[in-house]
């Protein structure tokens, strides 16, 4: 009989308790094999609807269907043991009403085994967040630059450039906190505003293009590994250049196949 202590997943209350403490580490992941690597280092893993653009070549996140999120979410849960898994609710699955949001969020949690869902929006989504939390669904909120609202925002624009707009973002943060969200993503937000919100609310803030003063940070894994074929946002730091390494490997393979040097003696059966 094994005497090893089983690995327990990090929970939403544990993430909430990290407010003002050791910074929370997070990355996105969309499949089991990368999730297994990230799992050893991240406190929570986000199965983001950015998978539509990163994995499926979509122009935006708006076309991502619920079934696709569930498929990738299930893969990430399968490949991990310790990190909290949070799955994005895609556009059109939660805005109509709290009841519709609950039905779709419950389906995500039942079919993937994830620990929480994330949805975009501040004051306008507070009632929905409260409805979900009261019915046992943990919610991570997301304000600032919200990609699903990029058309109404006029594109992917940094939020808070004009100080007169700060109060709206502060009210958004307070509203989702009061509604019961266990943490909140601040995206594409000027640093002093993100730092101010972090001081004001009792739940952890997770920055992406926000402030080092946030309670944690998140990046899209493919962005920080140099796998995004487009131009990475300013807030992304490249921790690797896997895109170039993959291309060289593929080019070397193609050259050897055409030269009939692969497969070699070590790669065939006699």
Cis peptide, bond prior to residue 134, ω within 30 of zero:
no
- Spatial distance between the Cα atoms of 132 and 109, rounded to a whole number of angstroms: 12
Task: Give 99-108's long-range contacts (Cβ < 8 A, gap of 24+).
Answer: 99/131, 101/128, 101/131, 101/132, 102/131, 102/132, 102/135, 102/137, 104/66, 105/132, 105/137, 105/139, 106/137, 107/66, 107/70, 108/66, 108/69, 108/70, 108/73
Has 170 been labeled as part of a binding site?
no
177: nearest Cα among 47, 19, 48, 42: 19
Q: Is 50 annotated as a binding residue?
A: yes
Q: Is 191 one of the catalytic residues?
A: no
Would you say 49 is a known binding-site residue?
yes
Report how far residue 27's alpha carbon sits from residue 103's, in angstroms, rounded to the nearest whole number.
27
Whether 88 has a binding-site annotation, put simply, is yes
Query: What's the CA gap between 236 and 238, in Å, rounded?
Result: 6
Exactly one of 187, 191, 222, 247 is catalytic; which is it?
187
The residues carrying an active-site annotation are: 187
Residue numbers belonging to the annotated binding site for 3-methyl-2-oxobutanoate? 49-50, 88, 118
Residue numbers belonging to the annotated binding site? 49-50, 88, 118, 120
Residue numbers belonging to the annotated binding site for Mg(2+)? 49, 88, 120
């Amino acid at each position: 009989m094994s005497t090893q202590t089983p690995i327990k997943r990090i929970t939403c209350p544990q993430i909430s308790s990290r407010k003002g403490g050791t910074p929370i580490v997070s990355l996105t992941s969309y499949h089991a094999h990368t999730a297994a690597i990230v799992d050893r280092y991240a406190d929570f893993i986000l199965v983001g609807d950015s998978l539509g653009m990163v994995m499926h070549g979509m122009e935006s996140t708006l076309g991502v269907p619920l079934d696709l999120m569930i498929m990738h979410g299930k893969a990430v849960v399968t490949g991990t043991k310790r990190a909290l898994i949070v799955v994005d609710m895609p556009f059109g699955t939660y805005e109509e009403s709290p009841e519709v949001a609950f039905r779709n969020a419950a389906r995500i949690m039942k079919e993937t085994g994830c620990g929480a869902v994330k949805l975009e929006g501040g004051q306008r989504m507070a009632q929905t967040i409260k409805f979900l939390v009261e019915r046992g669904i943990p919610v991570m909120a997301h304000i600032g630059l919200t990609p699903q609202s990029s058309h109404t925002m006029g594109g992917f624009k940094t939020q808070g450039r004009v100080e007169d707009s700060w109060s709206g973002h502060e009210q958004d943060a307070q509203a989702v906190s009061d509604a019961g969200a266990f943490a909140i993503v601040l995206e594409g937000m000027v640093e002093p505003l993100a730092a101010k919100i972090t001081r004001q609310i009792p739940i952890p803030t997770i920055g992406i293009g926000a402030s080092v003063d946030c309670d944690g940070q998140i990046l899209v894994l493919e962005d920080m590994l140099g796998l995004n074929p487009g131009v990475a946002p300013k807030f992304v730091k490249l921790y690797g250049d896997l895109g170039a390494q993959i291309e060289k490997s593929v080019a070397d393979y193609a050259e050897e196949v055409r030269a009939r040097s692969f497969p070699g003696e070590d790669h065939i059966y006699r």
